[in-house]
Each structure stands twice: as C-alpha cells, then as structure tokens.
C-alpha cells in the first residue's frame, strides 16, 4: 500500500484526527512540513492520496510554502492522485481547479458551525470546528456537497474533496490558533477565542466520529473512482 502524503504548514497544525484515522485504517502516512525549507518535496505520484491541512496563509499569498504546496496539488491533479483539502487545503484545491478565493464578506468564521449538506452520509452536518478568514467558491464541474450562510463548505471534484471547516482538528489544536491570533481577535472584539471553542465541548466526540465518516467517504471514492488510462 502506498502511504498518504500529508502537507502540514506549521507546528500548530498537526494531522490530529486525520492521523488517528489513518492509523486506525492501517494507512501509512508521510507528513511533509511545507514551512521547513530545504527538505525535498515528495512526489504525489508515490502516494495513495494527498491531504493538505490548514495554514495561516491563503492560496494567493506570494510565499514559498504556498507556491510549493500549489505545485504539489497541481501535480496531484495532473496525475489523478486524489486530494483531500481541509480549510486552506480546500481553498488551495479550489484555486488549483480554477475557482476564486476571497475574504469572508462578513468577517471570519470562528468556533463551531453547522452546515447544510446534501450528502450527510459523506459530509455530516456537524457541528464542525471552523477557523478561517477566507473562503473558496466551487470550481467549474464540482459537486457542491455542503453550504452555510458564509458560502460553500464542501465540494467534490472527481476523486478530490475540499472542505472549508476543520474535521482533522480538536478543540486543543484550534485553541493554539486562538492564542496565536489573540491580537487579531481583539481587533474583532473577541476577547477570548478559546471560549468560542469551549462552547462546543459537548460536540467534540460527535465531531471526531463525523470526521471519520467524512474521511472514510473520501477514501472510498478515491479508491473506486480512478480515471481510466
């Protein structure tokens, strides 16, 4: 079995529940840190799928980690290697497929949110953890699987899946982002970002279960929808 390639963008954004799910399913995992210069990038063709995690950047930022991630996603798409994009990763996937990325019009989506889903067996309604200032639009030819008042929350394009929320993350992981974003949050009038997360502590177990449902659905389609050569 080929390993999965997980692209991580900093010490505060580990694979989390995604890594646990891979271990439970017996899927080998290679984690590549996009923020660490000098390390050679793995070839997506050597991996069963590519998972792109969250980032403090957006796909339009002109910085080396973003450019290198875009190159990896482009290469995966070119060679029909399935891509699982989570938040920034979903934005990167959408951008690589030709869709625009923009600021969330009414301000960032932070904390917990429910989504309206047309395929709850593939993308459950949540609540899901969210932490993003930007949003994607669905690329041409994509199936929109879920939405919220802020826009598209999940889309499928062939064997690729992009979501705007964070199925891979736990409250503790996102609390680290809240601490890092403290000044930014204060400018929005949010005195305690961690409190937004603790409000949904009762949802954490269900969210972890739903994440596994989402990842299983992605893997099933990834394995059974290969492009004819």
In angstroms, the CA 193 to CA 63 distance is 27
| Residue 197: predicted pLDDT | 93
For residue 23, give the H/E element and its range: helix 17-25
Percent of the chain at pLDDT > 70 equals 98
Mean pLDDT along residues 34-50: 92
| Residue 226: predicted pLDDT | 66
In angstroms, the CA 1 to CA 9 distance is 25
The three-class DSSP label of residue 228 is coil
| Residue 227: predicted pLDDT | 57
Mean pLDDT along residues 126-138: 95
Q: Got the DSSP string for 36-105?
A: STTSPPPPGGGSS-EEE---SS-TT--SHHHHHHHHHHHHHHHTT--EEEETHHHHHHHHHTT--EEE-T
pLDDT band at 205 (very low <50, low <70, confident <90, very high): very high
Q: Is the pLDDT of residue 228 over 80?
A: no
Does the domain at 4-224 match CATH 3.40.50.720? Answer given as no
Q: Is the pLDDT of residue 37 over 80?
A: no
Task: Please state, rounded to an integer, the average pLDDT across all residues of the chain.
Answer: 94
N-to-C CA span, the chain: 20
pLDDT band at 38 (very low <50, low <70, confident <90, very high): confident
Angle at 85 between CA 13 and CA 147, to 5 degrees: 110
Mean pLDDT along residues 153-174: 97
Look up tokens 């994509």; give the residue: 142
This prediction has a pTM of: 0.95
Q: Smallest Cα–Cα separation from 160: which of 68, 57, 49?
A: 49
In angstroms, the CA 204 to CA 171 distance is 7
In angstroms, the CA 140 to CA 115 distance is 21
Report domain extents, the chain.
4-224
pLDDT digits (tens, 9 = 90+) for 15-28: 999 999 999 999 99
């Amino acid at each position: 079995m080929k390993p999965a390639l997980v692209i991580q963008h900093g010490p505060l954004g580990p694979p989390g529940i995604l890594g646990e799910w891979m271990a439970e399913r017996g899927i080998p995992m290679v984690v590549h840190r996009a923020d660490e210069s000098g390390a050679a990038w793995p070839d997506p063709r050597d991996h069963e799928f590519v998972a792109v995690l969250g980032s403090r950047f957006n796909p339009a930022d002109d910085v080396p980690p973003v450019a290198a991630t875009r190159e990896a996603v482009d290469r995966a798409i070119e060679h029909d290697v399935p891509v699982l994009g989570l938040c920034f990763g979903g934005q990167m996937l959408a951008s690589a497929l030709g869709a625009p990325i923009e600021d969330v019009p009414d301000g960032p989506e932070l904390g917990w949110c429910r989504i309206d889903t047309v395929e709850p067996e593939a993308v459950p309604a949540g609540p899901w953890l969210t932490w993003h200032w930007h949003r994607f639009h669905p690329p041409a030819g994509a199936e929109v699987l879920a939405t919220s008042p802020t826009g598209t929350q999940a889309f499928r394009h062939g064997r690729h899946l992009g979501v705007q929320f964070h199925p891979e993350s736990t409250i503790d992981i996102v609390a680290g982002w809240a601490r890092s974003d403290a000044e930014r949050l204060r400018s929005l009038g949010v005195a305690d970002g961690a409190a937004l997360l603790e409000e949904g502590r009762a949802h954490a177990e269900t969210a972890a279960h739903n994440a596994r449902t989402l990842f299983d659905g992605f893997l099933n389609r990834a394995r059974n929808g290969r492009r004819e050569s």
